[in-house]
Amino acid sequence: MERRNLLSAKNGWLAIGAGVLAYEILCPEGELLSEGVDRALERHPTLTRLAIGATALHLLNMLPEQYDPFHRLSKVIGK
């Protein structure tokens, strides 16, 4: 029988979803992730929008590798 890979994308997304849900349920008043983004937008609107946009473009595979900060970071780290 083939051993299932625990480090699959599916399991990664399940872990991220479970972590976000747990955080949103347990976080203190005023500390929802979306409220944190609201504060970031007030302090650093351009940087916050760039980070969110880069993440979305990365997930949609719409950035060439040489411009994808996540891809470049993974190369620097050695993956």
Lookup result for tokens 């979803």: 17
Question: Does a structural domain hold residue 17?
Answer: no
**Residue 56 structural domain:** 32-79
CA count, 13 A, side-chain hemisphere, 20: 8
State how far the Cα of 27 lies from the Cα of 43, in Å rounded to an integer: 22
The answer to whether residue 47 sits within a structural domain is yes
Number of neighbours of residue 51 by Cβ within 10 angstroms: 14
Q: What is the pTM of this model?
A: 0.79
**Is residue 43 in some structural domain?**
yes
Give the pLDDT confidence score for residue 1 in this predicted structure. 44
Q: Is residue 70 part of a domain?
A: yes
Residue 53 lies in a domain: yes
Query: pLDDT tens digits for 41-51?
Result: 999 999 999 99
DSSP of 58-79, one letter per residue? HHTT-S-GGG-HHHHHHHHHT-
